[in-house]
Structure 1
Amino acid sequence: MTSSSSVRQAREALGNRLREIRKDAGLTARELASRAGWHESKCSRIEHGRTSPADDDLRTWAHLCGAEGQAADLIATARNIEGAYVEWRRMERSGLKHAQESVLPLWERTRNFRAYSSWLIPGPFQTRAYIEALLRAIRDRRTVPDDVAAAVQVRVNKQRILHEGRHQFAVVLEESTLRHRIGGAETMSGQLGHLLSLATLPNVSLGVIPMEADRSALWPVEDFWIFDDAQVNVELVSAFLTITQPNEVRAYDETFARMIELAVYGPHAHALITRAIDSLE
């Protein structure tokens, strides 16, 4: 996967906007390319969303079309599009600490968090030992600078939002998440016990989808977070995906609602967690 449909649609929308600016200026694509000193196919590639325009391309486009006042907005739009799909190697090139810090503004302004996970305990619910084991594995697998201790502390500090402000958390886990051992039996036992205590918080709703649930209509999907109703973040093998297209956000919203219907809560969820703890022995 090299791009999401939301990134592709956003590029096409920017291309349509640039086409309108060109046509309003009375220029053909060939004329604009000639005046800019570009290959004649460049305008077409940009307008169809096949090529991402550089900042200088957009400044030149706006200047030649007599739309200098739109240049700054066009550049901001293009940068936002490119920021929607970020490879891990790019995000983590200066270390894991920076990657952890980059999401802090989003977490602080969000009021309603919804998360689905089929592989890992979600970040705010992780113990320090679980975080350390997880980030060490990421460091080794992706060969990033070793700042694990600092990155762990950032993630631990971020967990204050569980207890401060008016943040609400609705989390749905596959039962298999409780069985995937991160850091060994002792770390997992502590993690699952911590999960039981967090489930009692008034601002936390924790559901677990039992392994014996009928998945004929909806099977496990990629892990994702929904921030209010404005943004979805998805962690892929190679990249970090940010989704803001309203129709795609709605798709994740609908999927989460259906996951809730499959999950069990309260004593039933606690029993599944306790069973997972007992299996560690």
Structure 2
Amino acid sequence: MSPSSPSSSIQQAREALGKRLREIRKDTGLTARAVAAAGWHESKSSRLENGRTPPSDEDIRTWTRICDAEGQAADLIATARGIDGMYVEWRRLESAGLKRAQESVRPLFERTHWFRFYQSWVIPGLLQTQDYTRAILDTVASVRDTPGDTDEAVAARMERQRVLHTGGRRFAFLMEEWVLRTVIGDSATMVSQLGHLIGMTATPSLSLGVIPMGIVRGNAWPCESFSLYDEKQASCELVSASLTVKQPSEIAEYAKTFTELAGIAVYGAAARKLITSAIDTLG
């Protein structure tokens, strides 16, 4: 049931790139040894073709020059850089400030029409109140020692919520019940946030499912938080990094996982009852 691990996703992409390099070499009738004559050991050619060593830009330029395929170099380099971009450490992403990290996903949100979010950590960003977002980003800023632009980052996330009401988009949110009971900020922040969730269940374009604690899970085990954007991209939140997946077969795995999790969630009045229960525990 679980989607592939981050390392598996990246390795599959590297292997696909290596296969392209191998095909280019074979199309010219060259052996791996002949390509290695460029100045590296023959074993490096094998590692590149099998995806064990990621090629540098210069490796690709050299490979395509030897194989008389220089016209493919730019595309191959872009593919290789895309693989590097699949796994981005939070510290690297947020090094220029939390505001920029928040704004970096704006183009993705603007071009997406079907959003699916599963959260096993916190309330999904598009459903967060300003105070809840501030509590999260204050913690991020403290833990990761980011530039002090929390106010601007909060404003950027609130601005992003406009997509909920524009462009005929559809939204499906799933979260584990324990997310409702995890106190972010303080009790007042959580009561306000949970009340906001109840209000959002009336939004026509939005479905909100809560997976109850204690339910028989079957195949729908909890996993890392992830998002699906149409059928084109999956994004996964890891402890230290963000993972972007664009391979159709892997996107299909995440979509299947979402469907399985959605199958054990409760909606409507049943979901609101769980949210209200979480509010009651906060007094």
Interval of TM-score (by shorter of Structure 1 and Structure 2): over 0.9
Amino acid at match of 1:17: R
- Displacement of 1:226 after TM fit? 0.8
d(CA) in 2 for partners of 1:57, 1:203: 48
Equivalent position amino acid for 1:95 in 2: G
The aligned counterpart of 1:243 is: 245
* Deviation, structure 1 residue 80: 1.2
Structure 2: tracts of 5 or more residues without a match: none
Asked if residue 136 in structure 1 is aligned to residue 138 in structure 2, the reply is yes
Change (3 A) 1:148 1:209: same
| Cα distance in 2, alignment partners of residues 59 and 97 from structure 1 | 36
Displacement of 1:3 in angstroms is: 4.0
The answer to whether residue 49 in structure 2 is matched with residue 33 in structure 1 is: no
Shift of 1:40: 3.0
What TM-score, normalized to structure 2?
0.95
Q: 2 CA distance for matches of 1:50 and 1:87?
A: 21
Identity of aligned residues (%): 56
Opposite residue 195 of structure 1, the aligned amino acid is L
- Shift of residue 99, structure 1, vs aligned partner: 1.2
Partner residue in 2 for 1:171: 173
Alignment counterpart, residue 184 of structure 1, candidates 169, 183, 186: 186
Please tell me whether residue 215 in structure 1 is matched to residue 238 in structure 2. no
With normalisation by structure 1, the TM-score equals: 0.96
**Which residue of 1, 4, 9 corresponds with 1:6?**
9
Instruction: State the match for 2:203 in structure 1.
Output: 201
Q: CA deviation at 1:82?
A: 1.2
Deviations 1:132-182 (A, max 9, x none): 110111111122222111111111100000111111111111111100111
Name the amino acid aligned to 1:251: E
Conservation of the 8 A alpha-carbon contact between 1:21 and 1:67: yes
The number of aligned residues is 280
Aligned pairs for 1:91-170 within 5 A:
91-170=93-172
Amino acid at match of 2:155: Q
Task: Give how far 1:187 is off.
Answer: 0.5
Structure 1 residues 3 and 177: alpha-carbon distance in aligned structure 2, compared to 1, 3 A threshold:
closer
- Give 3-state SS (helix, strand or coil) of 2:37's partner: helix
Contact 1:84-1:241 within 8 A present in 2 as well: yes
Helix, strand or coil at the partner of 1:115:
strand
Superposed CA deviations along residues 35-84 of structure 1, whole A, max 9, x for unmatched, are 2x223322111111111111121111111110011111111111111111
**Counterpart pick for 2:75 among 73, 85, 101:** 73
CA RMSD between the two structures: 1.5
1:5 partner amino acid: S
1:31 is displaced (CA, Å) by 2.1
| C-alpha separation in 2, matches of 1:204 and 1:216 | 26
1:23 aligns with 2:26: yes
Q: Distance in 1 between matches of 2:61 and 2:227?
A: 35
Runs of at least 4 residues off by over 4 Å:
none
Shift of 1:4: 2.9
